[in-house]
């Protein structure tokens, strides 16, 4: 089933030479092929236009008739084997221990043996330490994901164990556990809704035009895909996307005045506007969440103090390699 659908009136006319077969070799990456008649205007006109679907007549991206599934979420859940819903705190903690052990063992090995005494070549040490940051980023991402599962209460059957483990693991990675848990839950409830989704909301052409001071008809060439801009955007996203989201709600929706308690009136995404994951009065949350937001901030504050002490003892350059670059790798994998 195709992942997207379009209204019938949006299908463009295509001339099809039925008597001339394609000579192109089939590839696993090719889109599914269909007969010439399936995309012809005659076949489109023969569709049952009296279909009573509330969505109207829909076509998939291959021009074939698309039916919106009529099964429910419960139907999907009932089709999944029961053991897939079983949660084991012991197994979850074993995964946490595995990732922490991997982080610790990797650090000990590199700190002890990737030294001028054992590796005289500066170039070789540089390559090895670069590899270290990559490996630690993988292990730390595993820990991040386990804390994510704690937020979804899929780590174990105990809410206390879930939230305690998630708070510790996410705080160690400078993630405000409860704050993000709350906004992430709202994201799952509104995925794909440009006015309610909490992250990865695309900018409309109108918003883009207003930012560059142009009219819509003047930005056609600016809104087309440009390789250099795509590259720069990707680099910025992979390096800074996560912290910018936490501090300024970058890529989140900007319709905060609809917040039910009125705390979003006059607030917009950006730095200094009160829309972030650290302010208990942020429109991303409700009044009842204030205590949890503060607890998240306390976790971040404790980790920040630990990092400050380690920077003073071992130096910023060492901590950059040991912790901060692996942190950027975690941001990349998110």
What pLDDT was estimated at residue 24? 41
What pLDDT was estimated at residue 164? 97
* Positive or negative torsion for Cα 147, 149, 152, 158: negative
What pLDDT was estimated at residue 199? 86
Predicted TM-score (pTM) above 0.75: no
Distance CA(212)–CA(229), nearest Å, equals 15
Collapsed DSSP state (helix, strand, coil) of residue 65 = strand
The domain limits of the chain are 1-70, 89-229+240-333
What pLDDT was estimated at residue 197? 82
Asked if 44 and 63 count as a contact pair (C-beta separation under 8 A), the reply is yes
Mean pLDDT by 10 residues, the chain (334 residues): 44 40 41 42 44 73 85 90 91 97 98 96 97 97 97 95 97 96 90 82 72 60 68 85 90 82 83 89 91 97 98 96 96 90
Strand extents, DSSP E, 44-165: 58-60, 65-66
What pLDDT was estimated at residue 289? 93
Q: Which two tokens stand for residue 70?
A: 């009529």
Distance CA(58)–CA(2), nearest Å, equals 12
What pLDDT was estimated at residue 223? 56
What pLDDT was estimated at residue 303? 98
């Amino acid at each position: 089933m195709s992942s997207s659908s379009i209204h019938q009136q949006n299908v463009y006319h295509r001339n099809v030479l039925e008597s001339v077969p394609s000579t192109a070799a089939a590839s696993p990456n090719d889109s599914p092929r269909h007969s010439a008649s399936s995309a012809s205007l005659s076949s489109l006109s023969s569709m049952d236009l009296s279909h009573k679907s509330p969505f109207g007549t829909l076509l998939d991206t291959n021009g074939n008739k698309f039916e919106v599934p009529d099964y429910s979420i419960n139907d999907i859940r009932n089709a999944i084997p029961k053991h897939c819903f079983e949660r084991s705190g012991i197994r979850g903690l074993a995964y946490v221990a595995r990732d922490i052990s991997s982080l610790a063992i990797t650090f000990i090995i590199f700190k002890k043996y990737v030294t001028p005494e054992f590796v005289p070549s500066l170039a070789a040490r540089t390559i090895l330490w670069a590899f270290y940051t990559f490996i630690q980023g993988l292990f730390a991402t595993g820990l991040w994901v386990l804390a994510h599962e704690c937020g979804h209460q899929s780590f174990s059957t105990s809410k206390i164990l879930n939230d305690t483990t998630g708070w510790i693991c996410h705080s160690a990675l400078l993630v405000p556990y409860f704050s993000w848990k709350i906004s992430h839950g709202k994201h799952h409830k509104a995925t794909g809704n440009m006015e309610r989704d909490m992250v990865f909301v695309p900018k409309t052409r109108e918003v883009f035009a207003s930012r560059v001071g142009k009219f819509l008809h003047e930005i056609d060439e600016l809104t087309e895909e440009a390789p250099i801009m795509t590259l720069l955007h990707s680099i910025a996203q992979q390096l800074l996307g996560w912290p910018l989201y936490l501090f300024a709600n970058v890529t989140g929706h900007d319709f905060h005045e609809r917040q039910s308690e009125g705390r979003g009136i006059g607030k917009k995404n950006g730095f200094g506007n009160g829309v972030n994951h650290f302010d208990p009065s942020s429109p991303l949350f409700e009044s009842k969440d204030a205590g949890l937001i503060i607890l998240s901030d306390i976790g971040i504050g404790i980790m920040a103090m630990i990092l400050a002490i380690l920077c003073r003892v071992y130096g910023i350059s060492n901590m950059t390699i040991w912790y901060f670059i692996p942190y950027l790798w975690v941001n990349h994998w998110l």
